[in-house]
Structure 1
C-alpha cells in the first residue's frame, strides 16, 4: 500500500527553515511515500473601523502581514518541489489558511487524510511548536518531528521509549514502516520516573517484536535529575539511534496543553527525529 505523508509548513509569524524541506523529502524517499506539502498561511480577521483605519491603518498592516505570509509559503513550496524532483519523490502541494491561533488546528484537520504527518521543529519558532502540539494530539495520526537545523540521515536504528502504556503501544504500531526497514531496534524503559506495570516490560515487548519477525534489544535507564524527554534522547544518541519512537502524553483544553514530562522534554529540546503518537 502506498504511504501518504503530509508536511505542514506554518508561515506566520515565522516560517521553518529550508532544512525541513530536504528532511521531509528524505523521509518520504526512505518510506517510498508520496509527499504532500501544505503551507498554512495566516488569515487575519478584518478588525477595521474608522478609528483603527485613521490612527493605525490596520487594514493595510493586515494586508502586508498576509502578503508576507503567502510569499514565504510560495518560497517554501518551491523549495520542497525542487528537492522532491531531485530525489524522485512524488509530490503534491496545497495552500491552507487559518487565523493565527488556529493554524495548528487547520494542520491537524488536514492531517487526518494521511498516514503520517511531518512537522519541522525549531526552538525559537512558536508557530512550529503550536502546530506540532495540535497535530500530535488532535490529528489521530502519527507525527514525525524533524530537527530544523541538521540532516536527518537514514532512520535505520529505531529506539522505542516503552512504559507499557496505551500511547506507547500506539506508537509502536504506528512505527511499523520504520521497524520493517530498520537495521537495529532498541527498547528503552525509564525506571525512576513513574510506577511501571511490571519489571520486565521491555523484554516482553522485545519478545513480541521478535515473534513478528523483528530483532530488538531491551535496556533500562534512570533519568536521575534530567527531564525524562532529555534522558530518552541522550540515551538514543549515545547508542547510535537516529529515530526515537514514543507516545505523546497530554490533553488539550481549548488551546492550553498539559504535557507529560517526556512530551515536554521532547518539544522543548529536540535532539533527533521523534515519531510521536497519541
Structure 2
C-alpha cells in the first residue's frame, strides 16, 4: 500500500525546507497529499500581559512574535509553487507544545516528515524528532539539512537488533520497502546477535529480496550503521528509536542520538 497522506513539520528552517521538498518528491510518485503544519508555542520570554509592562513594549513583543510566524508562512508560499502539488499541498498552523502537537496530529497520517533538530532554531518553533517518534505512534522520517531526493529510495538500509522497536520500524516501512530498490538488512556483530532468516523470509513474501550484512562493531553501533550507509550509498535508514529508555540514552549516549547527529541521509524512526 503506498504512502498517500503525508504530514510535514514546517518551521521555515533550512532543515524543514529539506523535509518539505522530500515529502513533495515522495508525493509525486503516488499522487499523495502533503499537509505542512507550522506548530509553535505561545510562550513568550517576557510576559507582555504583565501589569508592569508598558503598553508600547507589549505591542512590540506581540508584533515580534507575529512577525516570526508571518515570515514562516511567507516562506511556505514562496516554496509551494515550485513543489507543483497543486491542491494536494495544504498548510495549517497550530499553537501549543510543539512536540506534543506534532505527535498528536501525526496519528491521523501515514507518516510524519521532519527536519533535523537545530540548536539555533527559535524556541517558539523548535522540535525534537526523537521525542516525537517516542510518543506519536507513527513512523517519523528525519531529513538532514540540504538533503535532496528525486522521489525514489534506491537503497534502503534496515537496522535490525531483534527488538520491539526495530520490528515496529520494519512494519512501518513496508510500504517503502515493497516499492522498489535495493534493501540491506543490517546487524552489528557482538550486539544482540538476532536471528535474521525469518525476517528475510517475511520481507521476501512482501516482494523485497533483502541482503543481510553483519557489520563489525569497530567503535559503536551507531557509527557502524552510519559508516555502512555512507560507504554503500544508502538513501534511507530504517531503525527503531530508543530500545533503552530515552533518559539512559541521553545520559550515556546511544544509537539513536549518534545516528541523528552524524548521518547525512533521511532516517525513518519508529518506537
TM-score normalised according to structure 2 size: 0.84
User: In 2 relative to 1, CA 165–129 (structure 1 residues): closer, same or farther, beyond 3 Å?
Assistant: farther
1:211 has 2:213 as partner: no
Give the match for residue 256 of structure 2. 263
Q: Is the 8 A contact 1:162 1:189 kept in 2?
A: yes
Give the match for residue 65 of structure 2. 66
**Aligned equivalents of 2:233, 2:178: Cα separation in 1:** 18
* Gap regions ≥5 residues in structure 2: none
1:150 has 2:143 as partner: no
Give the match for residue 202 of structure 1. 196
**Aligned equivalents of 1:42, 1:15: Cα separation in 2:** 20
Aligned pairs, number? 263
**Aligned equivalents of 1:135, 1:120: Cα separation in 2:** 12
* Gap regions ≥5 residues in structure 1: none
**Aligned equivalents of 1:203, 1:259: Cα separation in 2:** 32
User: In 2 relative to 1, CA 4–84 (structure 1 residues): closer, same or farther, beyond 3 Å?
Assistant: same
**Aligned equivalents of 2:252, 2:30: Cα separation in 1:** 30
**Aligned equivalents of 1:277, 1:69: Cα separation in 2:** 31
Give the match for residue 101 of structure 2. 106
1:246 has 2:246 as partner: no
Aligned-pair CA distance for 1:122: 5.3
C-alpha deviations, 1:143-195, integer Å up to 9, x for none?
Answer: 01112213133312111000111110100011011111122111110123x33
Q: Is the 8 A contact 1:146 1:152 kept in 2?
A: no
Aligned-pair CA distance for 1:257: 5.8
Q: Is the 8 A contact 2:15 2:146 kept in 1?
A: no
2:270 to 257, 266, 277: 277
Give the match for residue 25 of structure 2. 26
Structure-to-structure mapping, 1:81-92, within 5 angstroms: 81-85=80-84, 90-92=88-90
Aligned-pair CA distance for 1:4: 0.9
Give the match for residue 8 of structure 2. 7
Across the aligned residues of Structure 1 and Structure 2, the Cα RMSD in angstroms comes to 2.9
Runs of 4+, deviation exceeding 6 Å: none
TM-score normalised according to structure 1 size: 0.82
User: In 2 relative to 1, CA 203–239 (structure 1 residues): closer, same or farther, beyond 3 Å?
Assistant: farther
Give the match for residue 184 of structure 2. 186
Q: Is the 8 A contact 1:25 1:80 kept in 2?
A: no
1:75 has 2:69 as partner: no
**Aligned equivalents of 1:191, 1:161: Cα separation in 2:** 12
User: In 2 relative to 1, CA 268–60 (structure 1 residues): closer, same or farther, beyond 3 Å?
Assistant: farther
Give the match for residue 223 of structure 1. 217
**Aligned equivalents of 2:141, 2:17: Cα separation in 1:** 17
1:51 has 2:52 as partner: yes
Q: Is the 8 A contact 2:15 2:144 kept in 1?
A: no
